[in-house]
Structure 1
Amino acid sequence: MEERHLEERQLELIKTSIFKIDLTQSKISSTEMPDVTTDFYTYIRGCVSEVSKANGGRKFKLRSNNTEVVATIYSVLKDAGAVFDGIIPSRLLREELNVQEKIARMNREINEGLLIISTIEDLGVKKVLLCKVEDLEYIDKINFTLNSGYPIKRRIFRSAQFILDDEGTIVDTIVHDLNSKGATYWWDDFLELDQLWDDVYNTKTAFNIIDTKVLSKIKIDSPADYTYLRNSAIRYFRTSQEFTIEKFIENCFENYEPVRPDKVNVENIKIKIKELPEKFSFDERFDLKPSEITAKIKYSVKLNEDIDLVIKDEINIEQTIFPEIHHKLKYIRIRSDAGYDAFNKTQK
């Protein structure tokens, strides 16, 4: 089923090299590309497909065309008979050994695994992909002994996509890391890339674009929904350590029931938000800088000709303001010690 799905996507593996990174023995070894009828081929193809179609990556820019990884990519692209040899995996081995030495004192270690390097064409777009598949230990269910292997699910731990134009020039670079805190060595030391946008830029831009291009448009049709959703967005940006477009949507919209369902289509909002990073130039994933979010909720609701309700900064509306109907008349009840004391004194 997976193979048929990949063919429908018109995924072509043009050149693929596979290397085992052995940190224990400090060596690399090349593995032949398996026959298309084998499970291992299906696995490798599935890994490449997963990287190519992955969401939630971060954009980078080349530090130089002469860095070891990029120069090797260009060298292979220019020679139809060339293949990816040990240059790139040897560099990864060196960098991972350096990192392993630094983190050993913290009782942490880098997992060994496979490095897959593949030149592909996917849906008419040519790319060079690098992905690290890490070994995972398991207990064999037949003989109950400790063994290791490559996971079928959650298999890609780190990857990079180098997007090519028709002339074979790298025009875009996207890096993925399965860990919530991306490994700096992967993009900085190994790939020698620079972030296209830093975390401060991403935090400010993402919030402002979501607010102005999506949330503010709800305000006209449903002020109450606008207040709830903007409040939720501010809370996410102020309290979360990391932004991912999927987690943001899940946190703020997945279980949201609109006050005005006739005016607010949550599914359409989710689709619009997913499109924002590409349209307005910010990353789908980055570390949040809460201090950059200066927006405060200050929203005025006209209750009648003489009274306005002003909401300032972040509050939990659901636990503070309660709409009610008594004898066919509409009211709001506000939980407030200060308000109670003030009006109780007035009534006395």
Structure 2
Amino acid sequence: MNNIVIELLSLYHLDVSSNKLEKTNISLKKETITNYIDSLIEEILDSPNKRLYLFKDGSTEVKNSVSKIITKAEDHDRVLLNNAKRLLEKEVKTDKKLQKTLGIKVQRGSLMQIHFKQGKSDNLLICKVEHDEILNEKSFEINRGLNTKKKVYKSFLYYLPNENRQGEIYVNDKNESKYWWDDFLELDQVKTDEYNTEESIDKIITAISSTTRKREFEFDNTILRNSVVGYYRNNKQFNFSDLIESVFENYTPIRDKYPLGRVKNKLDKLIEDDTFDNQFTIVPNKIKKRKKQTIKVGPGLVLKIEEFVNNLETVFKVYDKAGEHGMIILTDEAYNYVRGNVRKDN
């Protein structure tokens, strides 16, 4: 990776079950290690799924450790160890709580702390990486090693301030684990979940509707809009990559010429839009104003979609018979409304 220089690397395995730490000595002189670290850093730098944070006010442990790690202070090894101890303490406490209340465990892994430079800029990466146990095919002993396929559980990326930029902190954690960003790192979220929910859904739906307003593509827009609302309704966590994959990547337009590629391009630009975070906890009551949609279906007649409709594209059918054409709505409620109230065809 261009312009990346590793200045310091530390790895501790966290054994939550036994409440023990184990330092793993790794050498940057080994090509396999440097390839792994380069790939890990690249994965985190390129990830669109991150959230902006700030250090809490006052003196906090991880914040105080940054300068000693960056300058390789005389006691920096102790500082690295203390960060690992701190995380283990928070994970043991959280693990007991999760097992008692939800019957699940904290994800197992190791703490990696990396000081790296990009040009003249200093950066600190603290991340929880996957550490697998494998059965050696020759000795049949269990060995532990870094997973080269699935690397990162959670990450803290700090672009340190310098003469050319302000310091910025980004956290990548699909589960928004509070023990990670609040208890361990002692950070504050810059934008609230309420703000992120409202702002993101507004921008995403606008990206769909503003791409084309041609009448012939209105139904495709309606289906995609409905699917976006469904994503917000059916998920607790917003993750931009998940949204793109679940709603847009597998969508087959009703109209062959529907400009789905242009819609995706607009969404790609939204990834770089810093008006909302690309990862946050969805607040359901902040999507209400975007649930409703009104479609004109005739003079004085409108169809109002007030909530996410499952399989919307199968609810409507074309009616074309004896020179008459229109739309059939296939729902029990529509049937019950017209049954006995509307004259049947002769």
Alignment TM-score, normalising by the size of structure 2: 0.82
Give 2:306's match in structure 1, choosing from 313, 331, 334: 313
State the partner residue of 2:114.
117
How much has 1:284 moved relative to structure 2?
0.9
Q: CA deviation at 1:188?
A: 1.3
CA contact (8 A) 1:161 1:173 kept: yes
What residue is the counterpart of 1:153 in the other structure? 149
CA deviation profile, 1:97-138 (whole Å, cap 9, x unmatched): 24314523727355352423222217x865222222232222
CA, structure 1 residues 195+311, in 2 after alignment: closer, same or farther (shift >3 Å)? Answer: same
Please give the residue correspondences for 1:77-116 in structure 2 after superposition, counting only pairs within 5 Å: 77=70, 79=71, 84-104=76-96, 106=99, 108=105, 111-116=108-113
Aligned to 2:268: 274
User: Where does 1:166-177 land on structure 2 (aligned, <5 Å)?
Assistant: 166-167=162-163, 171-177=167-173
Q: Which residue of 2 aligns with 1:3?
A: none
Percentage identity across paired residues of the two chains: 23
Q: Measure the CA separation in 2 of the matches of 1:342 and 1:280.
A: 55
Pick one of 2, 13, 18 that aligns with 2:5: 13
Task: Please say which of residues 81-90 and 192-201 is displaced more in the overlay.
Answer: 81-90
What TM-score comes out, normalization by structure 1 length? 0.81
Structure 1 residues 53 and 296: CA distance shift in structure 2, 3 A:
closer
Cα distance change, pair 49–212 in 1 and its aligned pair in 2 (3 A)? closer
CA distance in 2, matches of 1:30, 1:249: 38
Which range is displaced more, 286-295 or 66-75? Answer: 66-75
Residue 43 of structure 2 aligns to a residue in which SS?
helix
Contact between 1:114 and 1:134, CA under 8 Å: does it hold in 2? no
State the secondary structure of the residue aligned to 2:339: helix
Letter in 2 for 1:74: S
Give RMSD over aligned pairs: 3.1
In structure 1, how many angstroms separate the alpha carbons of the residues matched to 2:255 and 2:327? 17
Q: What is the aligned length?
A: 332
Unaligned runs of 5+ in 2: none
Asked if 1:337 corresponds to 2:335, the answer is yes
C-alpha contact 1:163 1:171 (8 A) present in aligned 2:
yes
| Cα shift at 1:182 | 3.0
Classify the secondary structure of the residue corresponding to 2:167.
strand
SS of 1:233 mapped into structure 2: helix
| CA spacing shift, 1:95–1:128, aligned 2, 3 Å | closer
Provide the rounded CA distance (Å) in 2 between the counterparts of 1:30 and 1:296: 51
Match of 1:265 in 2: 259
1:31 aligns with 2:31: no
Task: Give 1:203-222 correspondences, 5 Å limit.
Answer: 203-220=197-214, 222=217
| 1:74 matches 2:72 | no
| Aligned with 2:279 (options 275, 285, 288) | 285
